[in-house]
Structures are given as C-alpha cells and as structure tokens.
Amino acid sequence: MAREHVIGLEALEAKGWWKTHKWLLLRRASQLSILALFLLGPWAGIWLIKGNLSSSLLLDTVPMTDPYLFVQTLVTGHLPETAAVLGAVIIAVFYMVIGGRVYCAWVCPVNLVTDAAQWLRDRLGISTATRLSHNARYWMLGMTLVVAMVTGGVAWEMINPVSMLHRGLIFGFGLAWAVILAIFLLDLLVSKRAWCGHLCPMGAFYNLLGRASLVRVTAAQRADCNDCMDCYAVCPEPQVIRPALKGAEHNIGPVILDANCTNCGRCIDVCSKDVFRFGVRSNNSSINSPNAGSLSGKTEVLS
Amino acid sequence: MSNTTTNAARRRFLVDMARTATGVALFGVGLGFYARQSTALPAEALRPPGALPEEQFLGACVRCGLCVRDCPFDTLKLSELGDAVATGTPYFTARDVPCEMCDDIPCVVACPTGALDHGLTDIDDARMGVAVLVDQENCLNFLGLRCDVCYRVCPVIDKAITLDLQHNKRSGHHALFIPVVHSEHCTGCGKCEKSCVLPEAAIKVLPTRLARGEAAEHYRLGWEEKRKAGESLVPPDRERQFNLPEGVRYDYQGEGVIFEQGAAPTPEATPFDDDPLKTLNRGLEGR
C-alpha cells in the first residue's frame, strides 16, 4: 500500500526545506515585522509609526488609513479630514497594485490566528461538514455598510476581530481576546477556513479593491503539473487555482485572476514542479508558454 | 433531463444564497442593536476636546488611537472591549486624569478624520462637559469652610468658577463662599473634579446633556431686555387712584392707609384682622 500522502513532502524532497517554506517564512516575517513596527512605539518608545491598522502616521508624516474603514465613515455621513482621505488613497492605491488580499496574507494579524487554527485542524485531522458560502463575505460587507448607514456609527468596528486584535496588542485587549479565541475555535471546530475564507468583510473589501491588481500568482509552468493536489491542500482559497492551472484546454491564461487569491505564495512553495511563480496580470497569454507571467521577464529557451 | 438538472442547480443556488443572506442579516440586526446600545456614553466618560456630538463621533472616529498617542499627559485612553464606552474610541475619566488643556491641542491635530473637530483652535472653546457642584451637603465651602480647591485649580479661574458670597445662617456672622460654575466658560476639563478633596468629589464634570437644562426658546428675561433696550419695554404702571376722604392717602404696596395731620386712627384699631376688608379699611371704621 502506498504511503500516506503528506502535503509538501514531494516538494521537500525535490527542492529542500528553504525553498518549500520560502514564501511562508517571508509572509510570517512581514506579518510579524509590521506588528513589531507598531509595537516599537508603546514598548520601546521608538515611534516610527503611531496608531494602528485602522489609521496611522508613519515617521510623523505619511498618513495611512484603512480604506474599508474610510468607506464606513463616509456611509455614516461624515466627510473625513484630509489626512484620512490621503491615507485611504495611499493604502488603496498600494493594494490596487500589489493585490487587494495581500492585506489578508501579508499584513492582517488575524491570519496568524486562523493559520494556526488550520494547522491544528490538519494535525488533529478534524473535518467538519459545516459549509459556508464563499460569497458570505460580500453579504457581510454589505451588511456592515447598511448597519453603519442605519445606526450612523461605524458599528462593525465594535466587534471587528481584525482591528480588535491589532488594537488590542498595541493599546490593550480588554475582553477582545475572547473574540479572537472565538475566531480560532470557529476555524478549528466549526468550519474550515471559516473566517478568512468565507466571512470576513474586510477580506471582501480588499478583494474588490484588488480586482485589477498588477501582481498576481501565475501557473506559468502549468504543463509540468503532476496533479499531486498539494497546492489545493495548502491554498486558503483553493477555488482560485483551477481556472489558471487547468485552463489550458479552455484557452484560459495561466495567471490566477480570482481576486480572492491572497498572493500568499504558499502554492509556489509547495509545488515540487515549480509550476507557480509571482507574475503580472498582463502576462496572461493563454498559449502555454513556460515563461508567461514571469515577473523578471527573462526568457528561457525551450529544450 | 438536463432541464431538471439545471432547475435543481438553480434551486440549490437560490436556497444557498437565501440561507447566507438570512444568516448575515440576522447577524446584522444583532450588530445594529449592539451598536445602538453602545451609543449611550456613561456619564463619567468624557470625550477629548473638540469631539463631535456623540452620534456623529461614533461615525467619524476610526478608532486609530492617534489622539491617545499624542496626549502628553496620558489623559486619553482607548476603550477596550468590555468597557462601557464604544470599543476602540478615546475617552478620559476626569477623576483619574483630567484634561490639561494644552494650548496646541495635540489630540485634535492628530485626529485624521475630524472626529475631533479641527475647527477647535482655542482650548478655552472646548466643551468636553460641564462641571456641576453635585453635592451641596458635603461640599466644604457649602459647610462654611474655605476649601476653595476647585476654584483655585480651575484653568479658567474667576470665569468658569466664581465664589459667590452668601450669609452663613448657621453661624450668623460668617460668609459662605459658594463655588458657582458658569457653563459659558467651563471647558469640562475636569481639574476641579480631580482635585476635590473629598473621598468622592462633590463637583463633577458631566456631559452637557446631563449637566444642563434648557430655557424655552421664547423666554425673555425682563431685566436683560430692559438693559439691552436702555429702558423698560413694558409701559409703566398707571398711577393708582383711590377715592379717599380728605386728609387720608393710600400707599399701595406700602404702609397702607396714611392719615395726615388731624386724621389719626381710632385707638382701638388692631393692626390685623381676620377679615381682609377690615385690614384694607383700617382707620376708616366709624367714619
């Protein structure tokens, strides 16, 4: 009998430990260093950045404001000051270029929590039947805006686990840890990747923001795919892979265009055949060229 | 056959969508109620200077904490989940750390959204609340002592709080120095509440909605109107005329009936009588 399939083992044997964990580690480094940057002020008195992910001031000059929160304040009927407008534009443009849900994978502190839940879920072999709709997040997004409009307050911020976790770490938790624990348990015991993959309205907003983003993961070498399914197993939004990876015969380009792709790069890590790489949206020729979508643009001669 | 499959798929799609929408809508209703309830700011929690009216503030504040960071006296705090103040919004408790009323108002400058109104440039114009001397029974000055601490620490001394003299009826020959707050000048900084020497402050900063009443719009204070106009706006009373015998005058609101020389009252007349008519006609009996 064949040995049990271990996710990523094939890649580990083919590429070594570093190359199978490169993007994961870079992502963790990004998440933690952004958090550290915010904590440097309150903990060490070094104020490179003040505030939190909702709105902050970098080096006492550059304002940054969460565009989702900005839209919520607009909906309540308040027109914010220039600093917030500028801050929201800066952040919006940034994610419009590098991918909306890059926020989810590379910045958001809740990702650490839900990834931990998913890791534990895999380790304990928990599988649950509760299925949430992938579109629930858009309903959630609409709901938060409607509630903001009706109550005239930024109601979602009263329970938003994302800002609550970040603000909690920087300014003090109160009972916010309970909300974070609830998210962890939801993902662990109720439904797979329930929060980040199905419910979070922030993810939905950043998804919409990054609909036309430049930086995308591309299945450039999709001809080499050996159907090991490891990329589906590690992907937080597995439904985004198929059209790009298996689209050759339907004349669909190799670039993952689904805005729910978080550009986490885990598929790049875990693929023993190096099918995936980061690329740009425009290099999406459906002709199965091995270098379509390569960010570096260097060409290799087909042998 | 394929038609049936399509129908089933469509049916499942619609049911799934309805299920999701219902779940989210229910959640939204709960969130709405929760949000509505937490608009009731507890009376001890004061917003930073320049804060918009509470309902607008909750829509304008993005909970970033930049005002808290730029407060040099650690007065401001961000509410945490479980606090009675809407989660993530800035507030201060005067009895713990009052507002020091910085001239440059750094908290307002730091606010990226204008939830703290950037139009506030003079801290004396801030209205974070209004101080109210809530306990006249325990206030030392009301007891006739010279505590005066609230008056002395007031950054707007002699305008926002004055000491008004009253007769001390208990001792009979001392004055009471009554601290009186003038809402026109009180910024609600809370220095008075912080420094009240009593274990529980006798003077407290309350949100304006609790601290103040409101006169009806059509009320006019006659003496104010008179001062503004330079003369009384109501016509003077007509001089009253009484039909009295010779040698007798009637002083309305004064002495009453006055007998001029030769018209003395009868000796048996009493100053008061049960019959008001008799009092009115005092001195006229038997004439």
Say what the pLDDT of residue B264 is: 61
How many Å lie between the alpha carbon of A150 and the closest alpha carbon of chain B?
8
B-interface mutation test, from A68, A71, A78, most B Cβ less than 10 A away: A78
Say what the pLDDT of residue A293 is: 43
Closest alpha carbon within chain A to B33: A151
B145 to chain A, any CB pair closer than 8 A? The answer is no
Name chain B contacts of A163, Cβ cutoff 8 Å.
63, 88
Question: Rounded CA gap, A250 and A252, in Å?
Answer: 5
B24 to chain A, any CB pair closer than 8 A? The answer is yes
Cβ(A183)–Cβ(A195) below 8 Å: yes
Segment A81-100 shows an average pLDDT of: 88
Q: Give residue A302's pLDDT band: very low, low, confident or very high (50, 70, 90).
A: very low
Q: Kindly provide the ipTM of the predicted complex, given to two decimals.
A: 0.78
> Mind listing the pLDDT tens digit for each residue in A256-287?
888 888 888 888 888 888 888 888 877 777 65
DSSP conformation letters of A116-166: HHHHHHHHHT--------TTHHHHHHHHHHHHHHHHSS-GGGGT-HHHHHH
> Mind listing the pLDDT tens digit for each residue in B207-230?
888 888 888 999 988 888 889 988
Tokens describing residue B25: 């809508």
- On average, the pLDDT of chain A sits at 83
Q: How is residue B123 annotated by DSSP?
A: G
How many Å lie between the alpha carbon of A167 and the closest alpha carbon of chain B?
8
Residue A291 has pLDDT above 70, yes or no: no
Q: Which of A50, A69, A153 sits opposite B35 (nearest CB)?
A: A153
Expressed in angstroms, the distance from the first to the final Cα of chain B is 125
Q: How many CB pairs under 8 A join A and B?
A: 172
B16 to chain A, any CB pair closer than 8 A? The answer is yes
> Mind listing the pLDDT tens digit for each residue in A25-70?
999 999 999 999 989 888 888 888 888 888 888 888 888 889 999 9
> Mind listing the pLDDT tens digit for each residue in B24-79?
888 888 888 887 777 778 888 899 999 998 888 888 898 988 999 889 998 998 88
> Mind listing the pLDDT tens digit for each residue in B121-143?
899 999 999 999 999 999 999 99
List Cβ neighbours of A182 (8 Å cut-off, separation of 6 or more).
A161
B140 to chain A, any CB pair closer than 8 A? The answer is no
Residue burial B256-271, b: 16+ Cβ < 10 Å; e: rest: ebeeeeeeeeeeeeee
Alpha helices in chain A (DSSP H): 9-15, 17-44, 67-76, 82-98, 102, 110-124, 136-151, 161-171, 176-185, 194, 201-209, 230-234, 241-245, 266-270
Measured CA angle at B123 (ends B122, B127), to 5 deg: 115
Tokens describing residue A203: 């993810």
Name chain B contacts of A41, Cβ cutoff 8 Å.
69
Name chain A contacts of B60, Cβ cutoff 8 Å.
73, 76, 78, 80
Name chain B contacts of A152, Cβ cutoff 8 Å.
55-56, 58-59
B93 three-class SS: strand
Question: Rounded CA gap, A152 and B227, in Å?
Answer: 44
Residue B285 has pLDDT above 80, yes or no: no
Neighbours of B191 (CB within 10 A): 24
- Residue A12 class from Cβ within 10 Å (0-12 exposed, 13-18 middle, 19+ buried)? middle
Q: Which residues pair with B178 in a beta bridge?
A: B164
CB contact under 8 A, B87 and A158: yes
Closest alpha carbon within chain A to B87: A158
Segment A7-15 shows an average pLDDT of: 78
CB contact under 8 A, B78 and A172: yes
Question: Rounded CA gap, B160 and B112, in Å?
Answer: 31
CB contact under 8 A, B113 and A81: yes
